[in-house]
Amino acid sequence: MTYHEAHKSHRTGWLRAAVLGANDGIVSTASLIIGVAAANVSKEYILLTGLAGLVAGAMSMAAGEYVSVSSQADSEKADLEQERRALDEHPELEKAELAKIYEDRGLTKKLSLTVAEQLMEHDALAAHVRDEIGIVESGRARPIQAALFSGLAFTIGALLPMLASLLSAITLIIPMVSISSLLFLSILGALASHTGGALKLKGSFRVTFWGALAMLLTALIGSLFGVAV
């Protein structure tokens, strides 16, 4: 019988992009709708503002993630190329360097050298990339995947307060969008924490708190100025 532990760290890349996108979609769109609604404008204007925020936000999230993760991918590529050259030019020094890493982790000097030799015979570059640089396959930068997850998640998140405002009478838009968005945020936080193996209540509270603060501030701005911003 084979024993296997179900770890969560391999989900970090797409989970971060999806949670960040959905959270921003709910918070920014709900806050925008509430702020404009507090300025006493028409429902059509409120919906148009929300739609514009959805499109702009989704594109901004996707582009931002792509640029950010692409920079990480470029750094990883440069490190890989540097390590490949070092292995070609100084294989013995690289073997000693890898053995020292294992020795520092608790292996004997002799065993460390044996492990380094065997791993380098199997795949020298993979061994150095993993243990010297700290790059693992599950954590590799994937710009397109991050951009798609962020943009799509933002759109889904933004559609929730948009739907709430669409189905509400103009006098009820602020309370309906506020309540439903906070509910969506609490569910999102709990789901994200569950997927990542953390406490659901803690994850739910932290996203709900910041979302409530953002909505409160934009509502105050809209009511104070009484104009669309």
List, for residues 77-119, the tens digit of each pLDDT value: 887 888 788 888 888 888 888 888 888 888 888 888 888 888 8
Q: Which helix (H) or strand (E) holds 139?
A: none
Q: Tell whether 2 is covered by a domain.
A: no
Question: Is residue 37 domain-resident?
Answer: yes
Question: Does residue 218 fall inside a structural domain?
Answer: yes
Q: Which domain holds residue 110?
A: 13-222
DSSP 201-225: HHHHHHHHHHHHHHHHHHHHHHHHH
Residue 228 within a domain: no
Give 7's pLDDT tier (boundaries 50, 70, 90): very low
Q: Do the beta carbons of residue 47 and residue 165 sit within 8 Å? A: yes
Asked whether residue 4 is domain-assigned, the answer is no
User: Is residue 107 in some structural domain?
Assistant: yes
Q: Is 154 buried (19+), middle (13-18) or exposed (0-12) by CB count in 10 A?
A: buried
pLDDT tens, residue by residue, 183-219: 988 888 787 776 666 667 777 787 888 888 888 888 8
- Kindly state whether residue 7 falls inside one of the protein's structural domains: no
pTM of the model: 0.69
Q: Hey, CA dihedral for 138, 143, 145, 151, is it positive or negative?
A: positive
Q: What is the largest CA-CA distance in the chain?
A: 77
Q: pLDDT class for 142, splitting at 50, 70, 90?
A: confident
**Domain tally for the chain?**
1
Number of H helices, E strands in the chain: 7, 0
pLDDT digits (tens, 9 = 90+) for 157-184: 999 999 999 999 999 999 999 999 999 8
Q: So what's the pLDDT on residue 189? A: 79
